[in-house]
Amino acid sequence: MTVRRETELSVERLREVLDYNPETGDFIWRSSGSGRKLGQPAGSPWSNGHRTIMIDNIPYQAARLAWLYVNGEYPPNGGKIKFVDGDQLNLRFDNLRLAFTRKEHNSLFRERHPKATRFFNLKKNYNGMTEADYMALYVAQDGKCAICDQPESATREGKVRWLCVDHCHKTHDIRGLLCSACNTAIGYANDEPERLDRCAAYLRAHLANKAVN
């Protein structure tokens, strides 16, 4: 007999062959056949420590089946299941949580606590800069970039970004708030005024030649 790899099982098929009790975490067979008996507990621990249940000759991780049974769908984006108490055999539904990647976790935290995240990073990255320090600059600049005198237009996750904090990489002094475009431009120029002067002269010369021609 060949054991096939796990595929997504339909919730209808799952509920046809198994009962699941969210309060106890128990799976019970609803029918007999293929080595199972009606009313018998389903599943056994595998070498990876998880409880696994064979359905139609395919092994399924019991925790993912519990999620499917209750929610009617698998964990989103192939998400893994985290066990709150650390016990992989404890399949009570209140012991199961989605296990986020670090990127997903950070994104979720930013979504739920945008202000806390923003000003924590300010203090960490800009020599102890506080929310009050930032807002004082923001008000002084009328919410606009200190170079182009325009508000920020770049977005992140569908929302307009905050103005960037510009600082001297040698002295770490805060110079002002810039839009993403201007901040990137002086960054690529290595904060060298002479290089930016040459960029401006180059553009002006090109425009002058175009006007003559």
Q: Would you say residue 4 lies in a domain?
A: no
Regarding pTM above 0.75, the answer is no
**Residues 134 and 201 placed together within one structural domain of the fold:** yes
Tell me, rounded to whole angstroms, the distance of Cα 160 from its chain centroid. 18
pLDDT grade for 112, boundaries at 50, 70 and 90: low
Return the DSSP state at 132. H
Point out the domain boundary residue: 66, 99, 132: 99
Rounded CA-CA distance 32/27 in Å is 14
Contact 83, 63 (CB under 8 A): yes
Identify the pLDDT of residue 4.
Answer: 46
Rounded CA-CA distance 110/118 in Å is 8
**Residues 38 and 95 placed together within one structural domain of the fold:** yes
**CATH code of residue 37:** 3.90.75.20
Return the DSSP state at 200. H
**Residues 174 and 153 placed together within one structural domain of the fold:** yes
20-29, 67-76, 123-132: least confidently modelled range: 123-132
**Residues 78 and 115 placed together within one structural domain of the fold:** no
Number of separate helices (H) and strands (E) present in the chain: 7, 11
The range of the structural domain enclosing residue 164 comes to: 106-212
Mean pLDDT of the chain: 84
Rounded CA-CA distance 50/56 in Å is 19
Identify the pLDDT of residue 2.
Answer: 44
Percent of the chain surpassing pLDDT 70 = 84
Contact 117, 47 (CB under 8 A): no
Across the chain, the runs of DSSP E, i.e. the strands, are: 18-21, 26-29, 44-45, 51-55, 58-61, 80-83, 96-99, 155-156, 159-160, 164-167, 174-178
Which amino acid is residue 199, in one-letter code?
Answer: C
Identify the pLDDT of residue 147.
Answer: 95
Q: Would you say residue 16 lies in a domain?
A: yes
**Residues 82 and 129 placed together within one structural domain of the fold:** no
Identify the pLDDT of residue 3.
Answer: 43
pLDDT tens digits, one per residue of 162-185: 899 998 888 888 999 999 999 999
Point out the domain boundary residue: 47, 76, 99: 99
**Residues 164 and 78 placed together within one structural domain of the fold:** no
pLDDT tens digits, one per residue of 145-157: 999 999 999 998 7
Identify the pLDDT of residue 7.
Answer: 65
Rounded CA-CA distance 161/169 in Å is 22
> How many domains does the chain divide into?
2
Q: Would you say residue 5 lies in a domain?
A: no
